[in-house]
Amino acid sequence: MEGLRHTEFNLPQGVVKYEGKVRDVYTRDNVFVSVATDRISAFDHILPRTIPYKGQVLNQTAAFFLNAVRDIMPVWLDDIPDPNISVGKLCQPIRIEMVVRGYLSGHAWREYRSGKRLLCGVSMPEGMNENDAFPSPIITPSTKAMEGHDVDISREEIIRQKLVESDLYSRMEAMALELFDRGQNMARERGLILVDTKYEFGLWEGELTLMDEIHTPDSSRYFYLEPYHENQQKGLPQNQLSKEFVREWLIENNFQGRTGDIMPVMDDQMVMTVSDRYIHLYETITGNSFVRHPYDGIDKRIENKLNSIFAG
């Protein structure tokens, strides 16, 4: 089965489309509509195969967590009129991703293993092993690229380059840590550990607002809580609920997004494995059963919804 790769609709005049890595975004005036496709990306490259139901999982997981943090700060999301569609406010984006890391994993571990002890201007203690917890969560921001790779950057450089004003950036740091704490507590209730994640902020009517997805498998890494300490003591790898296993598959197939790397193509079995993993993650972290909405007529279904949204 092939999932939803692209969207191309006949919509009212004035609607503007932007195609991201995994979402197609439609805007007009102050209305922002996100269509979650089944594209999957890793190392800032879109993979050749789609992952059935991934868009539905991503859209509904993001909505679940956005609704769970409204008491912390304003969020962009207003409505979920379709399993693949989110509607909300067209915020002015702040092009800095706030990456919060509670554990030495993924990119941070790869940097650490290479001998680096400074990541985005933040010191990492000596003597750590892969997947050890940091003494307290750290923020390792990156620039939000329109195309290509996001780039690590320090707090000091963000302020020096005036990418974000100092007071606003301090507010972003405080909100990122509060959101991460909420995410970790919610994960713990489900027998999981929220290892690391990223947050994107924007401004809506001058107020700092949470944008994009949060705590989804595309933006976050989860470990299972129960075997974590035993695995660390024995030097065993952690069982993950995240997209990291896709990155690991790519690395095993000699692809890390470097110049000259050739993108491998998943076979049908791997595609369905990834799809099943996404659905399992959704059900595990939300406690909800996932409903597989049919793909027959999905393009027309989404087009009708978008025409209804932009009809006014």
- Residue 144 in this model has a pLDDT that exceeds 80: no
The stretches of 150-207 forming alpha helices (DSSP H) are 155-160, 166-189
DSSP, residue by residue, 131-153: TPEEEEEEE--EE--SSS--EE-
DSSP-based three-state secondary structure for 200: strand
- Residue 205 in this model has a pLDDT that exceeds 60: yes
Place of tokens 């005049």: 13
- Residue 149 in this model has a pLDDT that exceeds 80: no
Question: Of 311, 305, 312, whose CA–CA distance to 34 is shortest?
Answer: 305
Show Cβ contacts of residue 147 under 8 Å, excluding neighbours closer than 6 positions: none
Quote the CA–CA distance of 58 and 215 in Å, as a whole number: 10
Please compute the mean of the pLDDT values over residues 101-128 and round it to a whole number. 96
* Domain architecture of the chain: domains with CATH: 16-90+245-309 (3.30.200.20), 94-203+220-242 (3.30.470.20)
**Each residue's pLDDT tens digit, 117-140:** 999 999 999 999 999 999 999 999
Name the band, by pLDDT with cuts 50, 70 and 90, for residue 147. low
Check residue 215 and give its pLDDT.
Answer: 94
Check residue 116 and give its pLDDT.
Answer: 97
**Each residue's pLDDT tens digit, 27-74:** 999 999 999 999 999 988 999 999 999 999 999 999 999 999 999 999
Please state the φ and ψ torsions of residue 105, each to the nearest 5 degrees. Answer: -140, 170
- Residue 6 in this model has a pLDDT that exceeds 80: yes
CA separation, residue 183 to residues 2, 7, 188, 192, 208 (Å): 32, 32, 9, 10, 19
Please compute the mean of the pLDDT values over residues 221-245 and round it to a whole number. 91
Name the band, by pLDDT with cuts 50, 70 and 90, for residue 148. low
- Residue 146 in this model has a pLDDT that exceeds 60: no
